[in-house]
Amino acid sequence: MDTSSIKLGADKNGLGSVAIADEVVEMIASLAASEVKGVTAMVGNITNELMSKVGVKNLTKGTKVDVLDNMVTLDLSVRLEYGYSIPETCRKVQEKVKNAIETMTGLQVADVNIRIASVSFPEKAK
């Protein structure tokens, strides 16, 4: 697990500094993306997928964050539900993730790149 963090600088009142772990930004992005209608799951690498099958939850799977000079670039891998517009759903994910990160951390989001890893099909009614 990456232990890097983002330093936000000293408080104007001289109370100290704030550092946000990269995993926190990844978790915010993952949760925000998962809330968008049409997104069925975040999709991680093969290790994450195998671990989730045995019950180990990884709330940051499918997300990668890069920070340079307090500008955040995110890469998300998602599974979409069949029948939803890919461009419209991705735009909603980008907006939701950008707003969540900027509101909760004060960082500026430069890019939210989305990779559609798969499409899930509804199960037939029995």
- pLDDT tens digits along 25-44: 999 999 999 999 999 988 86
The residue ranges of the chain whose pLDDT is under 50 are 1-2, 45-52, 56, 125-126
pLDDT of residue 9: 61
Domain positions in the chain = 22-120
d(CA 118, CA 83): 13
For residue 28, give every residue at least 6 positions away whose Cβ sits within 8 Å of its Cβ, in sequence order, or none: 97, 100, 101, 104, 105
For 22-120, give the CATH class.
Answer: alpha beta
d(CA 13, CA 22): 25
Give the global pTM: 0.78
d(CA 126, CA 123): 9
pLDDT of residue 68: 86
**Half-sphere exposure of residue 51: CA atoms within 13 angstroms, side-chain side:** 12
Q: Which residues pair with 6 in a beta bridge?
A: 20
d(CA 101, CA 109): 7
Does residue 13 sit in helix, strand or coil? coil
pLDDT of residue 2: 45
Place of tokens 């037939």: 124
